[in-house]
Structure 1
Amino acid sequence: MKESMFYDVYGNKVQCNTCNHRCKIGINKRGICEVRENIDGRLYVLNYGLVSSINIDPIEKKPLYNFHPGSRVLSIGTVGCNFRCLHCQNYSISAAKIDDYPLEKLHPEDIVSLAKKYNTDGISWTYNEPTIWYEFTYDTSKIAKKDDLTVSYVTNGYITEEALKEISPYLDAANVDVKAFRDDFYRRVCHAKLEPVLTTCKLIKELGIHLEITYLVIPTFNDDEEEIKDFCRWVVELDPSIPVHFTAFYPQYKMLDVPPTPIETLNRAYEIGKDKGIEYVYLGNVHSDRDNTYCPNCGALLIKRSGFSILDNKIRDEKCPRCNFKINLII
């Protein structure tokens, strides 16, 4: 166990300030994430260093397409989550209880050593929500940056402002799931709220962290054209150069009765994104040439992909070789 970095004490209760649920937790009780417990009036993290999943992935799998394309990262996850998404693809670990899942105990130095041993370019906190074991990601990321490793979060964006600011010097990139653009969806499907996620995206940009956004398109739930248009307008107002990934849904967990996303729906989302002014729009979870990177200015093919593999990369000095347009891409 490790004491939480962000909490307030109110008598026998503590308020966790790591994510935007800001749970008020009684003695011997746990927060929504199920991995933070009030023990004798102090908040402790129960899953510090307890790893459920570890693998080497291409950075494109996160997905991060405009951040060190072609690099490899050590991907790491634990158990638990602060959302309760009905369609979670990693529910076997996100819905697992810490006491009922086989976990491996590792130290921050162990993670960095593994990343270096296997010649990866960085570490990605992924598979389940990284915010719920924030202290371990924070301690490890500080060490990783000393060894010039990249650090990325794949996140639902529910981290608090104070926690995000604290880790920001050691966080290079984040892919945030904006799961819908209606608060009703967040309340019914995720047991959360939309606004904190949008606020996090804005703060990520302000802190100079590379941001990409994923929007999983779920038939009849968040695929309405007006909703997608509203989402795209919001992205453009925030920054039109933010890469957006419209990805296909496949029946998972408690949404087995919902059909997969038709390719026509994804293509329409792609067209709406481009029409509204988003400079880098990608389709994911399907076979399509719309996972390539094109110059927003002249349309030149800059990065050709096949799945998560890069077949050709024409970008030099973060500029289009044809028209010299500055590309929002970190080499």
Structure 2
Amino acid sequence: MKEALFYTKDQYGKILCELCPQRCHIKEGGIGFCGARKVEEGTLYSLNYGNISSISLDPIEKKPLYHFKPGSFILSVGSFGCNFRCGFCQNHSISQVKPDTQYVEPEELITFALKQKDNIGIAFTYNEPSIWYEYIYDICKRSANENLDMVLVSNGYISEKPLDSLLPYIKAANIDLKAFNNKFYRSICAGDMKPVLNNIERIHSKCHLELTTLLVEGYNDSEEEVRDLCKWISNLNPNIPLHLSRYFPSYKFDAPATSIEKITFCRDIAKEYLSFVYIGNVPGMDRNTYCPKCSKLLVKRDNFTSQVYLEDNNCKNCGFNLNIII
């Protein structure tokens, strides 16, 4: 265990964890809502520091990141725990319980990442990376002079101060925007939407950003809500890629999988406001990237293999400035 960052003691002697908006008050011997922070002898410790449950060299498109170095590979790692309780979680075996893990020192992981052929960096993903904060922060600092890109795949539920301390090291992020109504966040995720929206704005100003929304039919897929979500993103930047992902029954949710018709209907709405909208979890869908001005094919994707027809951030046909990092 390693002493955690971002905590204080309240007037009753309990530890107040300030890493995320859950702001857990944890008594002696207690564990926070995320399952990854524990109080022992008046000190808050990170239980998941260095503990890796999952590791894989993945195509960057699997994060999903379609506009950040398309066609590349990235070492993806995860631990355990989460500060949400999403009833449909597809990674509940590591986010909601403590799985078997292997301890890896930060320097070991950095060395391993550097040895992987064609690897561009490290993606912190699978479970919620923000509650793995101390380990991620140490890796970021110690790899600052290495040729490795640091990537977050997160629910965006983190306090402002720790986020601002981490962002200078992060090159790209995909934030899971669960819905665009706070009732969904509270009843389905046990969280709050406002901090997520605020953090999306902060992240967008610091690094490459893409968003993902898992559409669960009857919960977060109404025409009004999808329009509001896409209007909000468009006001921030209409060139932010949005990934609309198809829900399948998982964990505590046994509702039928979201219909293809609903997914494509929501995609068509999103395209009224956003330049780049992609569908996930649906085989056979067009996942290519086209210029929003002249419709020229820019990136061709077959499964998770990409062919890039760009040399920089501009369309070679019409000169349109794209939100793509080659």
Query: TM-score, structure 1 length as denominator?
Result: 0.95
The question of whether the paired residues in 1 share the 8 Å contact of 2:151 and 2:173 is answered with: yes
Once the two structures are superposed, the pairs formed by residues 125-204 of structure 1 within 5 Å of their partners are: 125-204=124-203
| Counterparts of 1:262 and 1:295, CA distance in 2 | 28
SS for the counterpart of 1:124 is strand
The question of whether the paired residues in 2 share the 8 Å contact of 1:270 and 1:283 is answered with: yes
The question of whether the paired residues in 2 share the 8 Å contact of 1:144 and 1:151 is answered with: no
Partner of 1:89: 90
* Cα distance, 1:289 vs structure 2: 4.2
Q: 1:224 aligns with which of 208, 222, 225?
A: 222
* Cα distance, 1:103 vs structure 2: 1.1
Query: TM-score, structure 2 length as denominator?
Result: 0.97
| Counterparts of 1:28 and 1:211, CA distance in 2 | 38
Partner of 1:313: 308
Q: Which amino acid aligns with 1:271?
A: D
| Counterparts of 2:285 and 2:89, CA distance in 1 | 26
**Count of residues paired in the alignment:** 324
| Counterparts of 2:68 and 2:196, CA distance in 1 | 21
Q: Which amino acid aligns with 1:87?
A: F
SS for the counterpart of 2:71 is coil
| Counterparts of 1:145 and 1:238, CA distance in 2 | 29
Partner of 1:254: 252
Question: Is the aligned partner of 1:269 residue 2:266?
Answer: yes
Query: Deviations 1:157-183 (Å, cap 9, x if unpaired)?
Result: 001110111011111111000111111
| Counterparts of 2:308 and 2:115, CA distance in 1 | 27
| Counterparts of 1:2 and 1:82, CA distance in 2 | 19
Structure 1: which 5+ residue stretches go unaligned?
none
Partner of 2:44: 43
* Cα distance, 1:142 vs structure 2: 2.0
SS for the counterpart of 1:85 is coil
Residue identity (%): 45
* Cα distance, 1:145 vs structure 2: 3.1
Question: Is the aligned partner of 1:19 residue 2:20?
Answer: yes
| Counterparts of 1:306 and 1:262, CA distance in 2 | 23
Query: Deviations 1:188-238 (Å, cap 9, x if unpaired)?
Result: 1111111111111011012x2111000111111111111100000000011
| Counterparts of 2:49 and 2:251, CA distance in 1 | 27
Partner of 1:5: 5
| Counterparts of 1:81 and 1:316, CA distance in 2 | 39
Partner of 2:279: 283
**4+ residue stretches of structure 1 with deviation over 4 A?**
none
Q: 1:243 aligns with which of 241, 244, 252?
A: 241
* Cα distance, 1:10 vs structure 2: 1.6
The question of whether the paired residues in 1 share the 8 Å contact of 2:71 and 2:308 is answered with: no
Query: Deviations 1:257-289 (Å, cap 9, x if unpaired)?
Result: x1112111111111111112x111111111244
| Counterparts of 1:289 and 1:251, CA distance in 2 | 20
* Cα distance, 1:72 vs structure 2: 0.6
Structure 2: which 5+ residue stretches go unaligned?
none
SS for the counterpart of 2:152 is strand
The question of whether the paired residues in 2 share the 8 Å contact of 1:144 and 1:150 is answered with: no
Q: 1:327 aligns with which of 309, 316, 322?
A: 322
SS for the counterpart of 1:245 is strand
What is the CA RMSD across the aligned residues, in angstroms?
A: 1.1
* Cα distance, 1:144 vs structure 2: 2.8
Q: 2:102 aligns with which of 101, 104, 107?
A: 104
| Counterparts of 2:239 and 2:214, CA distance in 1 | 19
| Counterparts of 2:191 and 2:93, CA distance in 1 | 20
